Structure 1
Amino acid sequence: MVTKSIALLVCDTPIPEVVAEHGEYPGIFTELMQKSLPEGSEDWDFKLDAYDVVTKMEYPSEDEIESYDAFMYTGSAASAYANIEWIHKLISFTAHLVKDHPKIKIFAICFGHQIVSLALGGNCVKNKGKWEVGPTKLRLTDVGTELFGIGDQITIQEMHQDHVPFVPKGFHLLASTNVSLNQGMLSTIGTEYQFTPSLESRVIDPPSSSPRPSPHLLFH
């Protein structure tokens, strides 16, 4: 039996209608992970531990971090660039996780994708009043096509006006739309990043030239 240990960083609570039908994020992610296990296989399982990073600002201890194979970040209605204590702590933890525990995988969704960008040399801003809401068709790059193995397009559910406006150094772009260039990005173990855990260092402009492509981390 192969068992993977996952830490779920819970960044919000779903709206009441979703909670009433599907429960909160720990239950939702547990169900999604169970459905993703290989069909008919008794050889794979996972253990998921949830951490409330908003109201409790809780994280695994330094000694516990290495017990996890991966960290997953939920979405959130918050803005990743907001000057709020729990968001600053999450960005700093993300930078520490990548810098000091590089073999641990990260999968971050929407708000989590934006947090990773801010922690690792990118940015997050409002998209000039443009929203993407509901089922949204993404154009996959060559790397995205190879990763997902489903052709050159994918449709996902979206709800955002904040976006990551460029691809940080060390990441491959996975998908784009006409509204938002960076719909997802991927990086690999051993990549060099520009770590930006402090508020001051995150107030940056996009680079004047395209970032150097490099092959681990995640994300939308």
Structure 2
Amino acid sequence: MGSIVSPKPIRLAILEADTPLPNTNAKFHGYGGVFTDLFRRAVAPDDLDAHLTITTHHVVEKPDNYPDLGSVDAVLISGSKHSAYLDEPWINRLVEFAQEVLATNGRVKLIGVCFGHQIVGRALGVKVGVNEKGWEVSVTELQLSTKGKKLFGSDTLKIHQMHRDIVFTTPEGAEPLAGNDVCSQQGFLLPEKAITVQGHPEFSETIVTEILGLRRETGILNEDLYQSGMDRVAKEHDGEKIARVFLKFATGQLD
């Protein structure tokens, strides 16, 4: 994939669409911290400050907490326990903001992760809803499209998952990146404007173990699905590789 060249740090605004569970939040202080840790590992041994200047914006309880698009180069929308298709004021505002980013015609790049992927899909006019095939959890293998193979330098990709909602189709003008039997739309590239993934490159064994445990306790996941997730939670995954692709996209270096 080649090295990432950053003539100056990219100004990245991370929109936090949820708060991590207690143990994760105590360690990282929000999903902004989780993503900052991912990007730090992705550029090591380089100093992250040479590549990114990160600001965080919690948009659920503070619906006006959005960055000035004149002061950022890229926006990343995080995952969330909420559903991107709901008609709720803060979700509708987030969709509108994603459309505002897209309207910059690539001056500000847009990155979507899980719920964020679905928000970008909704902003581009495609259907988002519940997957009748059910949940995907923990480390999952994806088959890459021709474009995905070129971007990631492999035929498959392994990524943590934690979702039942999906984007049903590829938006007009975008190129699909990956899919599998449960969810055919695992990410897309809208050239120069947006890149998304349905999974969670920022998640780790510890983070997903905490989520699986809570969702089992609350009855969201049944015992079989919980155990299947736990059987795969420690497997290697490609989160750092995906983060490097995000950085290359944000710096305009994707082929």
The alpha-carbon deviation at position 219 of structure 1 amounts to: 0.5
- The correspondence of residues 23-38 of structure 1 with structure 2, limited to 5 A, is 23-37=29-43
Gaps of 5+ in 2: 1-6, 198-255
Deviation per residue, 1:65-108 (Å, 9 max, x gap): 12211001110000001121100000011112111453211111
1:7 maps to: 13
Count of residues paired in the alignment: 191
What letter corresponds to residue 3 of structure 1 in structure 2? P
The alpha-carbon deviation at position 34 of structure 1 amounts to: 1.8
Q: Report which of the two has the higher share of helix.
A: 2
Whether 2:24 is the aligned partner of 1:18: answer yes
2:167 to 153, 164, 175: 164
2:228 maps to: none
Deviation per residue, 1:25-66 (Å, 9 max, x gap): 1211222222222534799232111111100113446xx312
TM-score by length of 1: 0.81
What letter corresponds to residue 118 of structure 1 in structure 2? R
Q: Give, in whole Å, the separation in 2 of the partners of 1:40 and 1:88.
A: 38
1:106 maps to: 110
Look up the SS of the partner of 2:172 in the other structure: coil
TM-score by length of 2: 0.70
Whether 2:69 is the aligned partner of 1:65: answer yes
Whether 2:225 is the aligned partner of 1:219: answer no
2:180 to 158, 177, 180: 177
Q: Which range moved further: 67-76 or 30-39?
A: 30-39
Look up the SS of the partner of 1:14 in the other structure: coil
Gaps of 5+ in 1: 190-215
1:90 maps to: 94
Deviation per residue, 1:116-175 (Å, 9 max, x gap): 0001121111011511111110000110011111x1001100011100111111110000
Look up the SS of the partner of 1:33 in the other structure: helix
| Residues 50/40 of structure 1: CA separation in 2 closer, same or farther (3 Å cut) | closer
Q: Give, in whole Å, the separation in 2 of the partners of 1:40 and 1:84.
A: 41
Look up the SS of the partner of 1:2 in the other structure: coil
Q: Give, in whole Å, the separation in 2 of the partners of 1:22 and 1:49.
A: 14
2:144 maps to: 140
Q: Give, in whole Å, the separation in 2 of the partners of 1:19 and 1:40.
A: 26
What letter corresponds to residue 140 of structure 1 in structure 2? L
What letter corresponds to residue 184 of structure 2 in structure 1? L
Q: Share of identical aligned residues, percent? A: 34
What letter corresponds to residue 217 of structure 1 in structure 2? A
1:52 to 51, 58, 68: 58
CA contact (8 A) 2:83 2:115 kept: yes
| Residues 161/67 of structure 1: CA separation in 2 closer, same or farther (3 Å cut) | same
CA contact (8 A) 2:16 2:30 kept: no
